[in-house]
Amino acid sequence: MKAEALFWQQCSQAVTADGSVDAQRLMELVIATYRVHESDYDEIERSAETLLRENHALRGNMSALSQAFDGQQRLFEIILNNLPLGLSVFDADQRLTLSNIRFGQLFGLTQADVTPGATIADLIDKMRGAEGTGSKPGRRAGRHSSAAVKSSGIRRREWLMDDGRIIQSMVTILADGSNIAIHADITEDRKAAERIAYLAHHDPLTGLPNRIHFREQVDSALAERKRDEQIALIHLNLDRFKSINNMMGVSAGDTILQQVAARIRASAGSENTLARLGSDEFAILQTGRQQPWNVTALAEQIRRELSEPFLHGEKHMELSVSMGIAVAPGDGEETDILLKNAGVALSHAKADGRKRERFFAGEMEAQMQLRHALEADLRAAIEKEEFELHYQPLYDLSQRRICGFEALIRWNHPIRGRVAPIDFIPLAEEVGLIVDIGRWVLHQACNDAVEWPEDIKVAVNVSAMQFSSSDLTSDVGEALAAASLSPLRLELEITESVLMENLGEVLPILHALKERGIRISMDDFGTGYSSLSYLSSFPFDKIKIDKSFVNDIVDNKEAHAIMHAIILLGDALGMRVTVEGVETAEQLALLECEECDEIQGYHISRPRPACDVPHLLSLPPKNGGVMHLPRC
Ligand code: C2E
Ligand code: MG
Ligand code: MG
């Protein structure tokens, strides 16, 4: 309130009833008002002092803040320039406003190049590299759309530098069109990623595509196949490669696999796709016009290439290969089916004696299922004690008495009935079961033989796989020891195929067995390709001439002459000669004249169960002498 108005108010309050002014009252009112104002003044004075003090404190804070800001600025610069990543900020006009040292280094730009104000276009011109193909627009930013510049989003760009480095930029585009980007050297990461991708699709040993990659290639070949085009798939598997690994060690096996891959690659040429599917399994995809007439030529070429010896150090190795071939569309139009059918054809090639190729045929599948069922039964057969040994006499012609028995396995299946060895031994060999079966045969034969008279021997057939996949020497030793049978009473029969598999591996085992007094016979002599050459490789105790040579010896001069020559050969080599498959007295008589040492055949006896052995031993001698003898 203004002073006059206040005084006027005070005067009116001091007017008495008669209209005069009470001076005393007026003075009191004025003094009271003065007092109120005096306390206000004090208050103002105090506030001013507070204000002064706070102002002072504020100044102090301001300088502390400014110092802190300077510190933050320095810290920011230190961090910025020591970042392992490059950083750049461009304004809405695409001019550089901020960057760190790493940014210039990554793009090979000088300090002068990266001064604020430089445009993106300038910098791209000056940098030592160019944008690569790995650039991608961000989720919301199209690379060439102007909207993208305005709307915010992240965009990845990649730069291929002249020195081979790859720089990746992650550019965040802000709403006003400015952008902040971080840049990284991803050369090493990219190399590692490429290596991982390569390893995921290739076999490190041979450098060939692996199964995954091969499937992708078959997928795309089938997808691109024209209506009248055929595509062939060859599935290759090395025969008995496991024995090379077992004998020479895995690293030698690896070297040979590399050589195999190189030879298959050379045969297949660049127009065919080659892959390694597994340890000793390879595959070739043949597309285009070459199909299908050329696939046979290719298979033959591969077989020829692989039949040449392989070298490891100074050692020569012989290899063979089996192949299954499936041709699309006839044998399947999907990768899985085509691969499966080539595999089925391969199994048939193996079952038919290996070293060959087989084209898939519809009925193969049904046959495979039968084989699988047989294999399953065979696996259970040992445990279920379904095997039995029969014994066929070995008859000494000069002594005219049985001198031993050959153990021949029989499989008594509850449903299949009696399965002949020819129907399950090849399968057992192929799937490796022959090792367990062979061990059982050895034990059983020794156990039975120990019950026989001391001078009666037992002969046991041994398969190639027993040499390569088990320790035959110790298996034999254990069987003899368990039965307490003298090694001198045991003969082992091996066929030429055992020696063909791997002479280098088999010979030391044969020598070790022979040193222990065990006799070694060459079985089925004359049925193989090079029985003669193998005769000189090992001092066999006995050769068993295959029954196919006996059939015509009585009536056919040539057959007789061959038999005569083989018996002489055996004599000359100091090996005992046994003729198998003697079915008639005439044959016996003729062989007696030929001074053959031993015969075996239905004429003496068919193979009989062990319980019949005492009876067989008690029979009178078989005599061919009473016969009318042909010329001796
Ligand atoms: P192998 O070792 O050559 O045995 C002789 C085969 O000829 C036997 O056939 C026998 O029954 C048959 N045989 C004997 N005398 C005559 C005859 O006068 N005429 C005719 N036509 N055949 C005769 P089996 O028992 O069927 O055995 C066949 C093959 O199976 C054997 O040939 C042998 O290679 C193999 N085998 C048999 N048992 C075993 C075994 O325990 N282990 C192995 N690894 N193979 C075995
Ligand atoms: Mg035999
Ligand atoms: Mg034989």
- For residue range 281-324, list pLDDT tens digits in order: 999 999 865 555 588 889 999 999 999 998 888 777 888 999 99
Pocket lining: 607 vs ligand 1, CB cutoff 6 Å: yes
pLDDT in the model for residue 627:
38
* Confidence check: pLDDT of 190 > 60: yes
Pocket lining: 602 vs ligand 1, CB cutoff 6 Å: yes
Q: Which bound ligand lies closest to the C-alpha atom of 436?
A: 1
pLDDT in the model for residue 41:
67
Which residue would you say has higher pLDDT here, 611 or 62?
611
* Confidence check: pLDDT of 607 > 70: yes
Nearest CA to ligand 1 atom 42: 461
Pocket lining: 463 vs ligand 1, CB cutoff 6 Å: yes
CA of 472 to the centre of ligand 2 (A): 17
pLDDT in the model for residue 439:
96
Contacts of 628-632 spanning 24+ positions with Cβ under 8 A? 629/589, 629/590, 629/593, 630/554, 630/560, 630/586, 630/589, 630/590, 630/593, 632/590, 632/593, 632/594
pLDDT in the model for residue 292:
53
pLDDT-based confidence at residue 142 (cuts at 50, 70, 90): very low
pLDDT in the model for residue 529:
67
pLDDT-based confidence at residue 549 (cuts at 50, 70, 90): very high
pLDDT in the model for residue 526:
87
C-alpha dihedral sign at 104, 109, 111, 113: negative
pLDDT-based confidence at residue 74 (cuts at 50, 70, 90): confident
Residues 476 and 515: their CA atoms lie apart, in Å, by 13
Nearest CA to ligand 1 atom 10: 607
| pTM for the model | 0.62
According to the per-residue pLDDT averaged within each range, which of 52-66, 131-145, 343-357, 558-572 is highest?
A: 558-572
% of the chain with per-residue pLDDT over 70: 93
pLDDT in the model for residue 626:
38
pLDDT-based confidence at residue 57 (cuts at 50, 70, 90): confident
pLDDT in the model for residue 145:
36
Q: Which of 332, 273, 334, 329 is nearest to 298 (CA)?
A: 273
Chain segment 437-483, per-residue pLDDT in tens: 999 999 999 999 999 999 999 999 999 889 987 799 999 999 999 99
Pocket lining: 441 vs ligand 1, CB cutoff 6 Å: yes
* Confidence check: pLDDT of 147 > 50: no
pLDDT in the model for residue 104:
94
Nearest CA to ligand 1 atom 41: 409
CA of 523 to the centre of ligand 1 (A): 10
Q: Which bound ligand lies closest to the C-alpha atom of 493?
A: 2
Nearest CA to ligand 1 atom 8: 408
Q: Spell out a b/e string for 202-215, using b for 16 or more CB atoms within 10 Å of the CB, else e.
A: bbeebebbbbebbb
Ligand 1 nearest-atom number relative to CA 438: 42
Give the CATH architecture of domain 193-360: 2-Layer Sandwich (3.30)
Pocket lining: 526 vs ligand 1, CB cutoff 6 Å: no
pLDDT-based confidence at residue 146 (cuts at 50, 70, 90): very low
- Asked, colleague to colleague, whether 86-185 and 370-618 share their fold, the answer is no
Mean pLDDT, residues 27-38: 78
What are the residue boundaries of the structural domains of the chain, listed by start? 3-79, 86-185, 193-360, 370-618
From first CA to last CA, the distance across the chain in angstroms is 166
Q: Which two tokens stand for residue 502?
A: 């791997």
Which residue would you say has higher pLDDT here, 270 or 112?
112
Mean pLDDT, residues 193-198: 90
Q: Count Cβ atoms below 10 Å from residue 370 Cβ, excluding itself.
A: 10
Ligand 1 nearest-atom number relative to CA 544: 3
Pocket lining: 29 vs ligand 1, CB cutoff 6 Å: no
Nearest CA to ligand 1 atom 33: 461
Radius of gyration for the chain, computed over Cα atoms and rounded to the nearest angstrom: 50
Pocket lining: 587 vs ligand 1, CB cutoff 6 Å: no
Which of 378, 392, 408 has the most ligand 1 atoms within 8 A of CB, as the residue to mutate? 408
Which residue would you say has higher pLDDT here, 44 or 281?
281
Chain segment 75-110, per-residue pLDDT in tens: 888 888 888 899 999 999 999 999 999 999 999 999
pLDDT-based confidence at residue 585 (cuts at 50, 70, 90): very high
pLDDT averaged over every residue in the chain: 88
Q: Which of 508, 560, 509, 498 is nearest to 531 (CA)?
A: 498
Which residue would you say has higher pLDDT here, 4 or 26?
26
pLDDT-based confidence at residue 402 (cuts at 50, 70, 90): very high
Chain segment 336-374, per-residue pLDDT in tens: 999 999 999 998 998 887 889 999 999 998 888 888 899
**Least confident segment among 100-114, 528-542, 595-609:** 528-542
Q: Where are the alpha helices (DSSP H) in 202-292?
A: 211-224, 241-248, 250-268
Considering the domain 370-618 in this protein, what is its CATH number? 3.20.20.450
Give the CATH architecture of domain 86-185: 2-Layer Sandwich (3.30)
Residues 513 and 490: their CA atoms lie apart, in Å, by 10
Chain segment 474-517, per-residue pLDDT in tens: 999 999 999 999 999 999 999 988 887 778 889 999 999 999 99
* Confidence check: pLDDT of 19 > 80: no
CA of 614 to the centre of ligand 3 (A): 23
The answer to whether the CB of 139 falls within 8 A of the CB of 154 is yes
CA of 422 to the centre of ligand 2 (A): 12
CA of 593 to the centre of ligand 2 (A): 24
Which residue would you say has higher pLDDT here, 47 or 177?
177
* Confidence check: pLDDT of 45 > 70: yes
- Residues 192, 198, 202, 205, Cα dihedral to 10°: -40
Which of 402, 461, 476, 582 has the most ligand 1 atoms within 8 A of CB, as the residue to mutate? 461
CA of 375 to the centre of ligand 2 (A): 23
Pocket lining: 524 vs ligand 1, CB cutoff 6 Å: yes
What is the tally of helices (H) and strands (E) in the chain? 22, 23
Q: Which bound ligand lies closest to the C-alpha atom of 408?
A: 1
